[in-house]
Structures are given as structure tokens and as C-alpha cells.
Structure 1
Amino acid sequence: MLRVGNHRELQAVVLALKAMDRDLARDIRRDTVRTMGPEWKEAVQRRASWHMDHRVIVPGTRIAGGNPPTMIAASSRRRLSGGLVPVQAWGGFEFGSNRSRRTTYTRRNRRTGGTHSVTRNTTRQLPRRAPRGRVAYPAVAEMAPRLASLWVQTVVRRVHEAAEGRQ
């Protein structure tokens, strides 16, 4: 991950945005979202290879225009047909699971009213374990330096234009 605290140049941009005119900072955030959003969404879509990636991780992929901007994926709150909510269950699809894990639980028999024990393989439908992520995290690793550079360039250009009176 790219952290602002680790880079003096990014810290300078954050401080400049805090100190500048509110309207100019708002315009810079708007430009940032407009230019970086499609790039980020396209990078996540390019890495999504499975149909469930396109249903769980890709929806809700966006840039939140803050100071600094934030890359967000899998933020959709709309339930899928089976009841899964992507914003709550994205981790299993991004990082996978131990596909051979078995879960044992007791259930009631409707006809006889008695209970019995059932063992199910409950994570078989998830991808194999990927500790470094499969879709969004590799996309962040690929895009973060590029988007940070674009953010700094946007701020410097807009401040320069404002100083010259072109805005």
C-alpha cells in the first residue's frame, strides 16, 4: 500500500490542499475523481476473471475524492440473488478460502421433529486461498504509484493555473 506519511512530496500536497481556497480544493478533488476513477475501475475489471468477481468486487469500484483520494472496490450494498451483500462478503472472494474446510452443525428434521448432525463443505464455492488478494489488491499495487503521480500533477497544475489567474 502507498501511504502519504511515507513520502514528503505527498505530505506537501496534502498540506497544500488543506491550506488553499476551499473552491479550488473542491475543484481539484472533482478533477481527481473524474480522471482517476475510470483508470481505477478499468484496472479492477481487467483483473476480474471469474463471473463472481464481476458481481461482487467490480460493482462499487470508485475513487473517493478526499485528501488524499481513496481507491474503493466491492462497496455495493445491493443484495445479489442469493442474498449475498458484496460490501459484507467481499473478503472471501478477494482472498479466497480453505476450500476443504468442513462445518458440522445440527438441524431439525421437519417430519419427525428430531435433530441430527450434518457435515457440509461450506467454502467450496470460494476461490483458493490468495493471501495477497486476487483482484483489487493486485490492481492497487499496479495503479497506486501511477495514480499518486497523477494526483500530484493535478494539484500542481491547478494551483499553477489559479496563480496565473486562468481559473
Structure 2
Amino acid sequence: MRLDVLKSRELLATIYAIRSLDKTIQKMIRQETKRIAAPEWSEALGKRANTALERQVIVNTAVVSVSNQNVRAQSANKGRPLSGGLNPKTDYPAVEWGADDDTQVYERRSKKSGTHKVTRHTAAQLKRRSATGYVWGPTVKEMIPRLARLWVQTTVRTIANAINGKQE
């Protein structure tokens, strides 16, 4: 989800201010923003994660990266496949948005030459499908304004501290 900074004078001013600063102050802004935003993002995701699978796939892979142009909060883009084979990088949609109640019915032959029908519920471990998601989607709606405010406040505070000669 992207935020259009052209509609926000404050965010646009923040980007222009960061671009015009010395490289060491830019670095301080990036470091301070990441230091504060990363635990906030992980904590907000953790509050909504109800299952161990959600925690492993979405919360444990949460990262925040900060550049001079944006703050990017991500999840499920890092990490190795889980012990059962689920790869968070490719299989996160089923964990976040759920799955249909799929069942497979097939015939199986028994040892005594008879056949019988077997029903398998292939998505039993997943929640029902949701258009808005369960963890990431609601957290993004809550956190985008908070992360934007944090970025602006950190920029202003860092510039003020640099002018006054203070180190954080």
C-alpha cells in the first residue's frame, strides 16, 4: 500500500527537507526513524496475530526500511521456508487472507480390492477467506498514519537537535 505524498504538504516538505540536508544528518534521520518504527510495526502486527502460523509467517518476518524518500514496512519477504515446507515469501496470501473451504474427494482402493470415497479438507489449518485480511491489512490501515507522523516528527527533531548542536 502506497501513500501519495503529493496530497500531503507536510510529507512533501519532509522529503524536500531531508534531500537538502547534510549526508550525516540524513543518516541520523534514517537510523532514528528505523530504531523507533521497527518495534512499533512488529508490535502492531503481533497484537493482531492469533495463531502460531501467523506469528511465524507475518510477525517474525516484519522489517522496516527507511530511505530519504520513504518508510517501507514489510512482512513475509524475508526468511527461510518453515520446517513443514511453507515458504513465507510465496505462501503468505493464504495465511493473511485465508483460503476457501476446499475439499478433495477421491476414490481409494483398499487392500481387499474394495474401493471407497475419501474426503480431505485441504485448507483446514487456514482461516476462512477475508477480503481485508487478518493481520497485515488491518495493521497497515492503523500504522500508515502513525509511521508518517513518526517520520515527520523525527525529521523535525533531528534538524532541531543539529541546529542546537545536540547529539541523540
Q: How does the TM-score come out when normalised to structure 1?
A: 0.82
Change (3 A) 1:103 1:31: farther
Q: Which residue is 1:22 aligned to?
A: 23
Contact 1:59 1:75 survives alignment (8 Å): no
Residue identity opposite 1:7 in structure 2? S
Contact 1:59 1:76 survives alignment (8 Å): no
3-state SS in 2 of match to 1:97: coil
Q: Which residue is 1:7 aligned to?
A: 8
Residue identity opposite 1:73 in structure 2? S
* Aligned residue-pair number: 155
Give distance in 2, aligned partners of 1:101 and 1:157: 56
Q: What's the Cα RMSD here?
A: 2.2
Q: Which residue is 2:41 aligned to?
A: 40
CA deviation after TM superposition for structure 1 residue 26, in Å: 0.8
Residue identity opposite 1:55 in structure 2? Q
Q: Which residue is 2:80 aligned to?
A: 78
Give distance in 2, aligned partners of 1:136 and 1:44: 7
Q: Which residue is 1:62 aligned to?
A: 63
Contact 2:42 2:62 survives alignment (8 Å): yes
Contact 2:44 2:139 survives alignment (8 Å): yes
Q: How does the TM-score come out when normalised to structure 2?
A: 0.82
Give distance in 1, aligned partners of 2:158 and 2:139: 27
Residue identity opposite 2:141 in structure 1? A
Please list every run of 5 or more consecutive structure 1 residues that lacks an aligned counterpart in the other structure.
105-117
% identity of equivalent residues: 39
CA deviation after TM superposition for structure 1 residue 18, in Å: 1.6
Change (3 A) 1:5 1:95: farther
Give distance in 1, aligned partners of 2:165 and 2:53: 49
Q: Which residue is 2:101 aligned to?
A: 99
Contact 1:58 1:73 survives alignment (8 Å): yes
Give distance in 2, aligned partners of 1:99 and 1:12: 48
Contact 1:2 1:145 survives alignment (8 Å): no
Confirm whether residue 52 of structure 1 aligns to residue 53 of structure 2.
yes
Contact 1:76 1:87 survives alignment (8 Å): yes
3-state SS in 2 of match to 1:98: coil
